[in-house]
Structure 1
Amino acid sequence: MTPGLILAAEEGAANPLIPAVYDIVWSAVCLAIIGFVFWKKVLPLFQKVLAERTEKIEGGIAKAEAAQAEANQKLEEYKEQLAEARAEAARIRDDARAEGLAIVEEMREQAQAESARIVAQGQHQLDAQRAQIVAELRADLGRVAIDLASKVVGESLEDDTRRRGTVDRFLDELDAVSAPAGK
């Protein structure tokens, strides 16, 4: 090494990386003042802001939980109302079916009653027509029988009482003969 370098190294024995003591003291004092101001003024503001944010967040969570609970309650009420509506619809549908069946049964009974009335009326008309036809046949048969009997006997059977008695007796005999055969 050269003697000049050694001399410069001895004179400048102070390390440029290590500051002087007065710089360290004044830097420590400034740091303490800034730290004290930060601790007394800035840190409480940060803590206040953080507390407010924490409170807002917790309040928001509580509100969200309350809203969720209310929504769940509304959902349960809705489900209950829906179940009631479905039960009501089923009851109305069953009532309508029963009423429809009752109406069908009533209409069937009315139709059967009307049918029975029409059949009875037809039977009554048939009986009346039968009686009328039987009466007409008796009269015609009586006249034919009287005419034949007059021709066979050779005397006039024009007397009404005698003719009626003969016709009635003849028809009664015919009824007696045809009744056992008809049964």
Structure 2
Amino acid sequence: QDNVAYDFTQPVTGKVTLTARWTRTDTQHWTISPAQGPETGGTEVTLTPPAQRGIRFSQVSLGSSHSAGIGSDGNLYAWGYNKSGQLGDGTTTDRSRPVKIGKPQGAPDGFTWKQVSLGDQHSAAIGSDGNLYTWGSNSSGQLGDGTTTSSQNRPVKVGKPQGAPDGFTWTQVSLGDQHSAAIG
């Protein structure tokens, strides 16, 4: 019967013709291949969802004058003021649009970013390898490298705490004005 939903809980007792209809309620477009099968039926079709509409941010952080977010692709993106290299893109050029931050040197295959936090002019993030990475200004030792010298304009791995057990990983990081803290 036309326009009557079939009750799939009932047994089939005779010849049945089913017609599938899709209603689009948004602006996304699915494709079907082949576009139309023969009237006799029995044709396998493939439904393909619309192409992804770009990167979506799953986590964001705001510094005093720069921003960063982890994209749905697992990459880190940053934008804003960059005098101390706090964007992590290898430059000190300000960015008015998100720029993809390269993976840290020595990062394993399949590496993704898990958490990001921003301070005044420094940044930190935890990778899927369980390591903590920092970059930007280091005037107060906020990068955790044991010095108060040289800013970094790319993510650099922070050493594990003295006496850390085997298998130690970082799980959370939070940055303030000119200080940093992380939980392992």
TM-score with structure 2 setting the length: 0.18
Bigger helix share: 1
Give the structure, 1 or 2, with the largest relative contact order (CA under 8 Å, sep 6 or more): 2
TM-score with structure 1 setting the length: 0.18
Larger radius of gyration: 1
Bigger strand share: 2
